[in-house]
């Protein structure tokens, strides 16, 4: 049985909760720029698979299993429900409590979660991004159980990409179950509309600016749809990637790059110019409301992760029929900017057996193949059934296995929460004054204080 948010009617107190999150966060160890990099925060090594805690309890156990996420929009919410369906079929003794808190990229949910963790009131499992978000926050704050026993029991090391394991590990311990891979650097559009306006998807940011001017002349006031602030961080990371290239982008996060360089200044100038082509009401829109502007022809493009494809499909749009189109974000052809949603086992879970049962489904082929075709992501496992995935998702599968990889900032891969929060504060100012030198100085300082720069 699945039910809604009943026991979770809590006031949203984001500012307080963010403060608490920061309070329970210790600075992350050296970040990793790509999934091929060293383990987040600890030396490499094959994880010790000996169980340090007992595996799932008696199969007859039941009760509520509260699953916490921020998947409430079209596509993402449907994917979650599809995975709940697999859970209900395979574990009928449990009752799922869907504790999703609305707000893209977890902006509200993570604040609520932080408050609950402060109060030692964790849900049975929550969605956390692989990478620095997981390791630098929840593992660092000692909130999670190691999942080595479950990886061992389920044989997941044989089916999960090797490059993902360091992103969910600290030392020899694995701390989450990746359920998918999302691509962040995607430009979305409606092909028919582009034809009507006489433009094509731009390949570079310079092309984008020319295209955007053409669109403006054709009466499209907002060539690029953007939403609330986290979506501008998402845009910023794709501009940095597209203008600097994958290696220089990765270097910004591992301490070998130079935030004060002319190249970064130029990329930030490009970002400022691009912001000038976005909708005036961006700060009031969710990511899906921004995508809706594209559907409605009020904007030509949006840059967003491929949860947008889940959203489009939830609107009965079919990629094979050309109802929507996609391209790598300008300047990033051949690069897959990735992130991974994953589920954790908290210390002190009220229904630990139920939590483990959930994780078993989240890591299973059946669970992932129910979830991802609807969510707009590809399975984290490398044995997903390709025939279940549509034309866009099949292209994402191909790119994930062949492209150069880069990690996402806005979705927890490359920077600790503390570092990301400093960048976000500077970004908030920048969005109001577009002062590139001041923004660059703040980014240099953020890397020095929270990140790995000396
Ligand atoms: C991301 C998350 C995605 C999707 C998106 C918008 O952070 O990884 O799964 O939910 O936010 O809500």
Q: Where are the domains of the chain?
A: 2-182+342-398, 186-337+412-450
| Superfamily of domain 186-337+412-450, CATH level 4 | Periplasmic binding protein-like II (3.40.190.10)
CA of 307 to the centre of ligand 1 (A): 7
Q: Is 374 exposed, middle or buried (0-12, 13-18, 19+ CB in 10 A)?
A: buried
Category of 103 on φ-ψ map: left (φ > 0), alpha (ψ -120 to 50) or beta: left
Question: Atom 6 of ligand 1 has which residue's CA nearest to it?
Answer: 104
Task: Please report the atom of ligand 1 found closest to the CA of residue 412.
Answer: 7
| Helix ranges restricted to H, 198-346 | 205-217, 229-244, 246-254, 262-275, 287-295, 307-314
pLDDT score recorded for residue 451: 78
Question: Is the pLDDT confidence value at 323 over 90?
Answer: yes
Please list the residues that pair with 170 across neighbouring strands: 173
CA of 104 to the centre of ligand 1 (A): 6
Residues 6+ apart with CB under 8 A from 432: none
- What percent of the chain stands above pLDDT 70? 87
Over residues 96-115, the mean pLDDT reads: 98
Q: 351-392: per-residue pLDDT in tens?
A: 999 999 999 999 999 999 999 999 999 999 999 999 999 999
Do 2-182+342-398 and 186-337+412-450 show the same overall fold? yes
Question: Atom 8 of ligand 1 has which residue's CA nearest to it?
Answer: 341
For tokens 């990637």, name the residue.
Answer: 241
pLDDT score recorded for residue 2: 56
Instruction: Yes or no: say if 164 and 130 are a contact pair by the CB < 8 Å rule.
Output: yes
pLDDT score recorded for residue 326: 98
Pocket test for ligand 1, best of 167, 181, 182 (most atoms within 8 A of CB): 182
Question: Atom 7 of ligand 1 has which residue's CA nearest to it?
Answer: 105
Q: How confident is the model at residue 432 (pLDDT cuts 50, 70, 90)?
A: very high
Question: Is the pLDDT confidence value at 42 over 60?
Answer: no
How far is it, in rounded angstroms, from Cα 84 to Cα 110?
21
CA of 310 to the centre of ligand 1 (A): 11
Residues 6+ apart with CB under 8 A from 191: 322, 324, 325
Over residues 444-453, the mean pLDDT reads: 92
Could you tell me the pTM of the whole model?
0.89
Return the CATH number of 2-182+342-398, one of 3.30.565.10, 3.40.50.360, 3.40.190.10, 1.10.3720.10.
Answer: 3.40.190.10
Q: Which residues line ligand 1 (CB under 6 A)?
A: 70-71, 76, 104-106, 129, 182, 287, 305, 307, 339, 341, 411
Mean pLDDT estimate for the chain: 89
Task: Please report the atom of ligand 1 found closest to the CA of residue 339.
Answer: 8
């Amino acid at each position: 049985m699945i039910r809604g948010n009943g026991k979770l009617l809590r006031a949203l107190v984001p500012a307080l909760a963010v403060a608490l999150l920061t309070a329970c966060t210790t600075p992350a160890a050296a970040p990793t720029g790509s999934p091929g990099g060293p383990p987040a925060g600890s030396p490499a090594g094959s994880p010790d698979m000996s169980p340090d805690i007992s595996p799932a309890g008696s199969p007859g156990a039941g009760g509520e299993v509260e699953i916490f996420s921020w998947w409430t929009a079209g596509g993402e919410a449907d994917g979650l429900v599809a995975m709940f369906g697999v859970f209900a079929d395979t574990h009928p003794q449990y009752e799922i409590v869907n504790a999703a808190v609305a707000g893209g990229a977890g902006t509200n949910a993570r604040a609520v979660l932080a408050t609950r963790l402060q109060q030692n009131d964790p849900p049975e499992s929550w969605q956390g991004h692989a990478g620095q978000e997981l390791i630098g926050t929840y593992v660092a704050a000692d909130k999670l159980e190691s999942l080595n026993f479950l990886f061992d029991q389920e044989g997941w090391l044989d089916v999960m990409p090797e490059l993902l394991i360091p992103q969910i590990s600290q030392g020899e311990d694995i701390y989450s179950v990746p359920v998918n891979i999302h691509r962040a650097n995607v430009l979305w559009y409606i092909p028919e509309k582009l034809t009507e306006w006489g433009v094509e998807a731009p390949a570079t940011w310079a092309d984008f600016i020319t295209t955007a001017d053409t669109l403006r002349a054709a009466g499209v006031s907002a060539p690029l749809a953007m939403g609330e602030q986290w979506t501008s961080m998402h845009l910023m990371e794709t501009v940095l990637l597209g203008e600097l290239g994958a290696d220089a982008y990765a270097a910004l996060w591992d301490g070998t790059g130079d935030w004060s360089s002319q190249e970064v200044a130029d990329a930030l100038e490009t970002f400022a110019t691009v912001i000038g082509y976005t909708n005036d009401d961006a700060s009031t829109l969710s990511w899906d409301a921004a995508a809706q502007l594209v559907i409605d022809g009020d904007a030509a493009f949006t840059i967003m992760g491929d949860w947008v494809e889940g959203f489009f499909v939830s609107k009965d749009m079919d990629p094979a029929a050309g109802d929507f189109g996609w391209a790598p974000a300008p300047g990033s052809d051949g690069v897959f900017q990735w992130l991974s949603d994953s589920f954790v086992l908290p210390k002190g879970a009220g229904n630990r057996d139920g939590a483990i049962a959930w994780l078993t489904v989240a890591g299973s082929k059946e669970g992932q193949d129910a979830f991802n075709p609807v969510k707009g992501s590809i399975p984290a496992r490398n044995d997903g059934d390709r025939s279940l995935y549509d034309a866009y998702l099949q292209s994402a599968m191909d790119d994930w296995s062949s492209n150069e990889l880069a990690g996402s900032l806005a979705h927890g891969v490359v920077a600790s929460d503390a570092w990301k929060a400093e960048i976000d504060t500077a970004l908030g100012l920048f969005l109001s004054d577009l002062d590139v030198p001041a923004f660059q100085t703040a980014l240099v300082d953020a890397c020095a204080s929270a990140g790995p720069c000396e």
